[in-house]
Amino acid sequence: QQPVQSPQAVILREGEDAVINCSSSKALYSVHWYRQKHGEAPIFLMILLKGGEQKGHDKISASFNEKKQQSSLYLTASQLSYSGTYFCGTGFSSGSARQLTFGSGTQLTVLP
């Protein structure tokens, strides 16, 4: 039930764009995106709920296609600070259960 993230790793130059995908074999209610820098705790980026909404702040945005059971994270004009491992976490229910299943991560490296 672990969502599948792709690519596993990506290397960019500063200013380039990147897309990270998260796919589930199970119907999704929510998708959570986090970034983790080496040796640090994961930091929240955004949550998308069932309804196909798209969210974004600054130059990072995400979409959620519930029919395809997938979400994509878009990083535009990458900055050095975007380097890290990106995780998607998937939630399957809007009820009281709050089990969150994370993908194995996408390692993003932004070079100057």
Residues at the interface with another protein (CB under 8 A): 1-2, 30, 32, 34, 40-44, 47, 49, 87, 89, 91, 93-105
CA distance 11 to 110: 6
Characterize the bridge pairing of strands 9-13 and 106-111. parallel
Question: By the 8 A CB rule, do 105 and 87 touch?
Answer: yes
Q: Which is nearer to another protein, 89 or 110 (CB)?
A: 89
**Minimum distance from residue 52 beta carbon to another protein (Å):** 15
Q: How many residues does the chain have?
A: 112
When the beta carbons of 12 and 46 are compared against another protein, the nearer one is 46
Please, which residue, 16 or 63, has the CB nearer to another protein?
Answer: 63
CB of 78 to another protein, least distance (A): 22
CB of 67 or CB of 98, closer to another protein: 98
In the complex, the smallest distance separating the C-beta of residue 104 from another protein, rounded to whole angstroms, is: 4
Task: Collect all residues with Cβ–Cβ distance below 8 Å to 33 and sequence separation of at least 6.
Answer: 22, 44, 45, 46, 47, 48, 62, 71, 73, 86, 87, 88, 89
> Do residues 18 and 10 lie in contact, with contact meaning Cβ atoms separated by under 8 Å?
yes
CB of 15 to another protein, least distance (A): 28
